[in-house]
Each structure stands twice: as C-alpha cells, then as structure tokens.
Structure 1
Amino acid sequence: MSADPGGPRPADRFPQDLIALQQDWIGVYNRLARRRGEGSAAELRAELFRLSCRIGDHPHWVDGDPSRMGRTRLWQAAQVAPGGEPQVVVRLVDGRVVVTEPEAGGGRG
C-alpha cells in the first residue's frame, strides 16, 4: 500500500465517540487559549486533563494505533469531522502569549 506517510490511512477509522471526545478537547483548549484573564483557568485545565484521560483510555487504542502518529491522525480527523473546529495555535513571542486563529477554511498547515 503506497499512502502518503503524513496522511490518514484506511485503518484509521475512529469511533464516533472518540472523535467527539477529541472535538470536546479541542473546544476546551481553544476556550482556554482565547480567555483574556477573565475568570479562573483551573476549571478548563481540569476539563482538558479529564478529556485527555478519557481519550487515552478509550478502547480504540487496544487495537488501534496508540503512537503519536495515531493520536495526530485522531486530532486531524476530529477537526474535519462534522461539528469539528480547527485548533488555535499558541506561541510565546517576546515573553507574550500569542494566540493565532486558524485561517478560514484552512486549518493548521
């Protein structure tokens, strides 16, 4: 099988509940990244931790690809699946946290 090494493979069919968990994770991450000091971030961080545990413990990984590439393919699939949203990019620039919104229709490149 000659597939693009960076692209999804046919074996990477993720269960809908796992896709939904990853979409929830991305949504919480984006809310945390976009907050501008209002309120406490502790609840959002706790939710990210809880979702990370649920994603990592999902039964799919018993037979699926639990490698970093497998997790990356899940992350990519969750963004493009119905109801998905691109994840924002967070960087530290000159000592400031800078949040970059994804390009419209482009996702992360």
Structure 2
Amino acid sequence: MRPPFHFPEDLITLHRAWQQTYAELAQAPAGSGTTALRRRLITLSGTLCTHPHWATPAAWRTGVVELRLAAHMSESAEREGAA
C-alpha cells in the first residue's frame, strides 16, 4: 500500500482554481469571448507545473492523480461545512 500524499494547501487551492477555470471554459458557448479564460488556464497551468512541490522528478508522475483527488475532497468538505 502506498503512503498517503500530503500536498501544500496552496497547491490544492491552485488546482481547484484550475479545475474551476477549465469547467467555465468547457461550459462557455463557442465564440463567446473565452480569451480571458484561456489565458487564465494557461497561467494556472504554468504555475501548477512549476510549483516547488514538484521539485523531484518522480513527484509529478506519482502525485498528479492524488492532487486531483485532494482538491476534489477539499472542495467537497467545504460544501458540507457550508450546508
């Protein structure tokens, strides 16, 4: 069994922002001026990829799926707390 991954809170927040921007871009109708969303997604992607957490080569390959899960679980926990 693999040890659990622990991600910095800023990395989880950054990935949640990326997911939200991606979802907004996916929902935008064609020709609706998505330039700002595309630029934001590119900026967030660059920031995600260059985050200090990924300093070791193996961290990116093994941690990206776990980061997605951590971001999703964090978002779900916030929704339950707000309810």
TM-score by length of 1: 0.61
Unaligned 5+ runs, structure 1 = 4-8, 85-109
CA offsets 1:40-97 (integer angstroms, 9 cap, x no match): 1111111111001101111111157111x4111111111111468xxxxxxxxxxxxx
Distance, in Å, in 2 between the alignment partners of 1:40 and 1:71 is 30
Within-5 A mapping of 1:36-55: 36-37=29-30, 39-55=32-48
Match in the other structure for 2:59? 65
| Number of residue equivalences | 76
List structure 1 runs of 4+ shifted beyond 4 angstroms: none
Identity %: 32
- Aligned partner letter, 1:51: L
Aligned match for 2:18, one of 25, 32, 38: 25
SS at the partner of 1:66?
A: helix
Q: How far off is 1:37 after superposition? A: 3.0
Instruction: Decide which structure has the larger Cα Rg and report it.
Output: 1
Distance, in Å, in 1 between the alignment partners of 2:75 and 2:19 is 14
TM-score by length of 2: 0.78
Normalized per residue, the structure richer in strand is 1
- Larger RCO of the pair (alpha carbons < 8 Å, separation 6+): 2
Unaligned 5+ runs, structure 2 = 78-83
Q: Root-mean-square deviation (CA), in Å? A: 2.1
Normalized per residue, the structure richer in helix is 2
Task: Call closer, same or farther: CA 1:74–1:22 in 2, change over 3 Å.
Answer: same
SS at the partner of 2:51?
A: coil
